[in-house]
Amino acid sequence: MARRPATPAARRTSRRHIDKRRCRWARATDPDYIRYHDEEWGRPVHEDRRLFEMLTLEGAQAGLSWSTILRKRAGYRRAFANFDPRKVARFDARRRAQLRRDAGIVRNRLKIDATVSNAQAFLAVQREFGSFDRYLWSFVCGKPLVNRPRGALPAYTPLSDVGVVNDHSRECFRCPPRGPSRRARGAARLK
């Protein structure tokens, strides 16, 4: 299959950060992949629609490469009502059948059904907590955890995508500055 040309934004990003050191997983030559790392991954997200988008895309990615999903992102946006969970939650059997014929997305019945179920659960969380953002970020008191990568775990990866956990490697230009060590923090408390 022919490779899609990079988007104008991806080309600008790749030129702007061409000599920057990145996390090992983002050293690919695919400009969309690099743009995702440089401009999105690990950055805190607080918009519910964007959080639903990442939940949807991560679900679609299971068993596939992330670059495959990034290339289909516009198709997902169109197919899943611009990631509006209220609309997606109402997708009926006929609409789901149409999606299984849409080449712009991964046409897996279970993944499509899961997206609709996830939209319904997403709305239930919004009703209970006021927003999905409030619910998600409550687990880290509203501040990103700065971690060091130890290997991807399925439930952990979406947290890195939306910045709840920042896993940029130490050599990456997007790595946040390190705070004081545990030992230094402990010594400061003793004073």
Task: List the single range of 85-94, 124-133, 159-168 with lowest mean pLDDT.
Answer: 159-168
Residue 104 forms part of a structural domain: yes
Q: Is the pLDDT of residue 182 over 60?
A: no
Residue 156 banded pLDDT, cuts 50, 70, 90: low
Residue 163 banded pLDDT, cuts 50, 70, 90: confident
Residue 11 forms part of a structural domain: no
Span 153-177, average pLDDT: 79
User: Which sign, positive or negative, has the C-alpha torsion 102, 104, 109, 112?
Assistant: negative
Beta bridge partners of 145: 165
* Concatenated DSSP letters of 108-141: -HHHHHHHHHHHHHHHHHHHHHS-HHHHHHHTTT
Mean pLDDT of the chain: 84
Residue 21 forms part of a structural domain: no
Active-site annotation, residues: 36, 58, 66
Residue 184 forms part of a structural domain: no
| pLDDT, tens digit, 9 for 90 and up, residues 32-62 | 889 999 999 989 999 999 999 999 999 999 8
**Residue 100 has what pLDDT?**
98
Q: What is the pTM of this model?
A: 0.79
More confident residue, 98 or 165: 98
Residue 82 forms part of a structural domain: yes
Tokens of 132: 């999905």
Residue 105 forms part of a structural domain: yes
Rounded CA gap, 185 and 191, in Å? 10
**CATH number of the domain that 60 lies in?**
1.10.340.30
Residue 30 forms part of a structural domain: no
- The tally of domains found in the chain comes to 1
More confident residue, 32 or 117: 117
Q: Identify the domain containing residue 66 by its residue range.
A: 36-166
Residue 26 forms part of a structural domain: no
Q: Is the pLDDT of residue 122 over 90?
A: yes
